[in-house]
Amino acid sequence: MTTHPSSRPFYYRLAQAIIRFLVRLLTRLDVKGLENLPATGPAILAPNHVVWFDVVPIFAYTKAPVVTFAAEKWERHPLVGPLMRYLGNAIFVQRGEVDRRALQAAVQALNEGKVLGVAPEGTRSYTGILSKGRDGAAWLASRTNASIVPIAIWGHEHITADWKRLRRPHVHMRVGEPFKLPPEAAQARSRDLERYTEQIMRRIAALLPPDRRGPYA
């Protein structure tokens, strides 16, 4: 089963159009590589993770609804909860532990041909400097044979402060070419995933300016 662009509900496409307008209004957005965004899955969008704004331009330009992870604390929030469920197709995750239910839901989504968003760093850097990757994205890709789409975003580290000063920050987004882990990754044990995480992180790093590549420079 695959996801077709036409499967985006009207409200999803409308929300994307509104977000694109607002992003163009409030930032000086420079985007390249949109042709690499998948219209079908199974695929994993793998961006660097800086601040909350990361997800905004990605959501604005995706060609298929993206399944996302969200902290469980937002599930019952009266405003954020519904937004994450209906626009983010959220899988709510228990923080501070290995949430096997959430991982299985992500595997199921990929096996159904959906597009999943996973930040391989696992947490925000706040500085715009790439941090060391964790193995979650590699584990999911190895278990589902999903394509991985590296994405790099920078220039928005202080976006809230810029807006308070009535500045439009220069925000850059680069979408790299999709790739797959080698076939032998399907047999990799958890302790062997680091080499595949390295591959993913270096693909993201290659899209960033050299001074933002952190340990992958």
Distance CA 157, CA 53 (A): 9
Question: Could you write out the three-class secondary structure of the chain?
Answer: CCCCHHHCCHHHHHHHHHHHHHHHHHCEEEEECHHHCCCCCCEEEEECCCCHHHHHHHHHHCCCCEECEEEHHHCCCCCHHHHHHHCCCCEEECCCCCCHHHHHHHHHHHHCCCEEECCCCCCCCCCCCCCCCCCHHHHHHHHHCCEEEEEEEECCCCHHHHHHCCCCCEEEEEECCCECCCHHHHHCCHHHCHHHHHHHHHHHHHHCCHHHCHHHC
| Predicted pLDDT of residue 98 | 64
Contact 27, 170 (CB under 8 A): yes
| Predicted pLDDT of residue 158 | 93
| Predicted pLDDT of residue 52 | 87
Contact 65, 90 (CB under 8 A): no
pLDDT in tens, 165-196: 999 999 999 999 999 999 999 888 888 899 99
| Predicted pLDDT of residue 107 | 93
pTM exceeds 0.75:
yes
| Predicted pLDDT of residue 6 | 41
**Cα torsion at 138, 203, 49, 149 (round to 10°)?**
-70
Contact 201, 216 (CB under 8 A): yes
| Predicted pLDDT of residue 96 | 59
Alpha carbon distance, N-terminus to C-terminus of the chain: 38
Residues of the chain with confidence (pLDDT) below 50 = 1-6
| Predicted pLDDT of residue 91 | 81
